[in-house]
Every structure is written in C-alpha cells, then in structure tokens.
Structure 1
Amino acid sequence: MHTATPLLLTPAQVAAELGVGRSTVYELFASGELRSVKIGSARRVRSADLRAYVEGLS
C-alpha cells in the first residue's frame, strides 16, 4: 500500500513543509512543541503530529 503522504517525515522534510531551517525543527523537538520519534539514532515526525502542530498554530 502506497500513500501520497509518508507516515514518517525526516527533519529536512518537516523543515521544507514549514518553510524553516532544520535547526528550527530540532528546537521544536527540544521544546516539546513538535513530537518526534527516535528510530535508532534518527529522528522522524509522524505526519499526524506535523498536522496537529500546524493546526495548533492558529
């Protein structure tokens, strides 16, 4: 099954979606404003968590 929206996004993909730099994405992780999951040493963001973050901005 292939979906148009990936389940997990890299910090670079999140940065591109939000129009910010990767360092800003990592700051959002550190502050707890944006949830992430750790897979090995890599951070990923669930699409649903990114959507919830954006909806909470308004």
Structure 2
Amino acid sequence: MMPCKTLRKSAPPAAEREAVAECALELRRIGDKADLRQRILNLIAKLFCPKT
C-alpha cells in the first residue's frame, strides 16, 4: 500500500477572504429580507383568512 499524503491548504489571500465575507453578508441580508417578507405574508393571511 502507498502511504497517503495530506495536502495542507494555505490561508486564502486577504482579497479572497474579504470577498467571502462580503458574499456571506449579502446572503444574510437576502435571507433577512425573505424572512421578513414571509412573516408579513403570514400575518396578512392570518388577518384576512382566519381559520374557522
């Protein structure tokens, strides 16, 4: 059997880390907007379509 070598990843450059952080922030904002929109729709549905 051949011994396995583990590959070490070097830390990503600062520009790449910055881009990843910005992307994560944008995705969080999009998710927050979608969540708020869904909560508003649920509230409207409860007000106008009460279950009897």
TM range (shorter): under 0.3
Query: Whose strand proportion is higher, 1 or 2?
Result: 1
Query: Whose helix proportion is higher, 1 or 2?
Result: 2
Higher relative CO (Cα under 8 Å, sequence separation at least 6) belongs to 1
Answer with 1 or 2: which has the greater Rg: 2
